[in-house]
Structure 1
Amino acid sequence: MYNCFDIAKQFLKYAKEEGIDVEPMKLLKLTYIAHGWHLGFYSKPLINNTIEAWKFGPVIPDLYHITKRFGFSNVDYDTISMRSSNKLSENEEKFIKVIWENYKQFSGLDLSTKTHLKGTPWFEVYDGTFNKVIDNQTIEKYYKDLIANPTNDTTGESN
């Protein structure tokens, strides 16, 4: 299992290679979505960080507090890289690449919308209070359901 910075670093690496800007919200949502799909496919968490339901969707507080200073600007690779402590396995790099290829075209706002619609883990947990944890079981169930029933996906997550 990795920390959120290990996964975020890989997304930023791909973005840098392709000349694509990644603002904080996009990086947060990509990291969350990768974690969700990993739970769905492998029944194992990708990251060991806490995920919380905030007003605008699921948030990984550890990643948020480091990236929020970038506002709507591109997140600096070095800022994330220095907090990354694990090298991803070849399989995990390939997994992150698949997520990147499927979601890179979306803005942070688009991804935020996808992750907090009716039926998503955020929707199931968020009750207007701050810092409500979204547990891995809730996330795993949602993504396993998407895998089993891709035509029933109303959130656009399986794009």
Structure 2
Amino acid sequence: MATVRDVAAYILQKRGPMTAMKLQKLCYYAYGYHLAWEERPLFPERFQAWANGPVSPDLYKCHRGRFQLDDGDIAGDPDALDDGERESIDLVLQGLGDYTAHQLSTMTHREAPWVEARARADVQPLQRSTEELRDDEILEFFDALTAAGDDGQAEA
């Protein structure tokens, strides 16, 4: 199975440079859509409900203190991805790759997986949280999105 670092390295290879926040959100959306489309996780690492949206702490450790990232900045192996994983990521990049980090973050703030994790943590908008987003909630949300879309593409 691929890791979040492999996915991040692939995204940067395809669409870099970008901000660390945008990379985090694209990894999250790739995870969610892949879970709905393929009915399996894209990688084993979890996302937490941070103030600015879902964040993978494992990926954060790779870019902490950096604003901008480019191809090669994350130590991952894009070749570790299988065809289904690459296809899911490519579809997300087609649908959401041109959004800004702020737009993607704002979108996650309206979506059930992050909202529900923040509610479980009982935190205020700018408070820190390490509450994990749950796969069952991510699957339910993204499955509903893909069922609602005519072409299954990532939608805003």
TM-score, reference length from structure 2: 0.84
CA distance in 1, matches of 2:57, 2:46: 7
Q: Could you say which residue in structure 1 is the equivalent of 2:155?
A: 158
Please give the root-mean-square deviation of Cα atoms over the aligned residues, in Å. Answer: 1.9
Q: Could you say which residue in structure 2 is the equivalent of 1:77?
A: 71
Tell whether the 8 Å contact from 1:2 to 1:86 is kept in structure 2 after alignment.
Answer: no
Q: Secondary structure at the match of 1:99?
A: helix
Tell whether the 8 Å contact from 2:113 to 2:138 is kept in structure 1 after alignment.
Answer: yes
Runs of 5+ unmatched residues, structure 2: none
Equivalent of 1:64, from 57, 60, 70? 60
Cα distance 1:106–1:85, how it changes in 2: closer, same or farther (>3 A)?
closer
Q: Could you say which residue in structure 2 is the equivalent of 1:15?
A: 15
TM-score, reference length from structure 1: 0.83
CA distance in 2, matches of 1:147, 1:83: 28
Runs of 5+ unmatched residues, structure 1: 152-156
Larger mean Cα displacement after TM superposition, 28-37 or 85-94: 85-94
Aligned length: 146
Q: CA shift at 1:141, angstroms? A: 0.7
Q: CA shift at 1:86, angstroms? A: 5.8
Q: CA shift at 1:61, angstroms? A: 0.7
CA distance in 2, matches of 1:94, 1:55: 30
List structure 1 runs of 4+ shifted beyond 6 angstroms: none
CA distance in 1, matches of 2:18, 2:54: 17
Q: Could you say which residue in structure 2 is the equivalent of 1:112?
A: 105
CA distance in 2, matches of 1:93, 1:23: 21
Q: Secondary structure at the match of 2:18?
A: coil
CA distance in 2, matches of 1:86, 1:132: 31
Matched, 1:125 2:117: yes
Q: Secondary structure at the match of 2:54?
A: strand
Q: CA shift at 1:116, angstroms? A: 1.4
Matched, 1:28 2:40: no
